[in-house]
């Protein structure tokens, strides 16, 4: 754990010492806000409704269940289990950590933002046309980087969140594709 912590601090210091700029200071808080992504959620919903009309409600409800499972697992089980303080809560970091008004009093590991969005992206991966799937990874990395940039998470928090969330989303997509045979016929 000490090795991971030292790597996390080194990467966090590097980001806050070398990447700080007005553009990221403005953009990252917006990118990590849940309401920013509502148009994308609506686009996903519309696309699934158009592409899979017979299975829409099954896919939609499973999407909500997968995301809710991740959120509950993250906030109610994993964060209290690991009890890792957030970087923005560490007094010694205040000298070099960029200050944003987003520091929560909850724990840091794993990042629920990263976990929830990775589960959603992983779940939707097989439903989205192959030419656009890479955008799902960009979306998750963008949100995850923003969490590190504003100092509410360490890099390993978002990496852990991505890995756990992607696994849960993938399992959810396997489950729904096994239950709805019509889905597999319409996939790329």
- pLDDT digits over 7-64, tens only? 999 999 999 889 989 999 999 999 988 899 999 999 999 999 999 998 899 999 999 9
Examine the pLDDT at 75 and tell me if it is beyond 90.
Answer: yes
pLDDT at residue number 44:
94
- Binned at pLDDT 50, 70 and 90, residue 187 comes out as low
- Contact (Cβ atoms closer than 8 angstroms) between residue 118 and residue 169: yes
d(CA 84, CA 23): 29
Examine the pLDDT at 181 and tell me if it is beyond 70.
Answer: no
pLDDT (tens digit, 9 = 90+) per residue, 114-136?
999 999 999 999 888 889 999 99
- Give the pair of three-digit tokens for residue 121: 């992206």
- Contact (Cβ atoms closer than 8 angstroms) between residue 114 and residue 150: no
d(CA 30, CA 143): 9
pLDDT at residue number 188:
55
Length, in residues, of the chain: 188
Examine the pLDDT at 156 and tell me if it is beyond 70.
Answer: yes
pLDDT at residue number 185:
63
Using a pLDDT cut of 70, give the percent of the chain over it: 96
């Amino acid at each position: 754990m000490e090795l991971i912590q030292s790597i996390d601090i080194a990467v966090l210091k590097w980001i806050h010492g070398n990447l700080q700029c007005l553009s990221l200071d403005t953009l990252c808080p917006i990118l990590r806000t849940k309401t920013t992504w509502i148009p994308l959620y609506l686009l996903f919903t519309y696309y699934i409704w158009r592409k899979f009309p017979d299975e829409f409600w099954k896919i939609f409800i499973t999407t909500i269940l997968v995301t809710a499972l991740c959120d509950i697992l993250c906030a109610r089980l994993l964060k209290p289990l690991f009890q890792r303080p957030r970087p923005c809560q560490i007094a010694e970091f205040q000298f070099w950590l960029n200050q944003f008004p987003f520091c929560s009093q909850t724990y840091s590991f794993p990042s629920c933002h990263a976990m929830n969005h990775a589960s959603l992206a992983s779940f939707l991966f097989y439903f989205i046309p192959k030419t656009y799937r890479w955008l799902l990874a960009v979306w998750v990395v963008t949100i995850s980087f923003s969490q590190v940039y504003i100092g509410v998470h360490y890099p390993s928090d978002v990496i852990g969140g991505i890995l756990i969330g992607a696994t849960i989303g993938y399992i959810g997509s396997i489950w729904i594709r096994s239950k709805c045979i019509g889905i597999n016929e319409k996939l790329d």
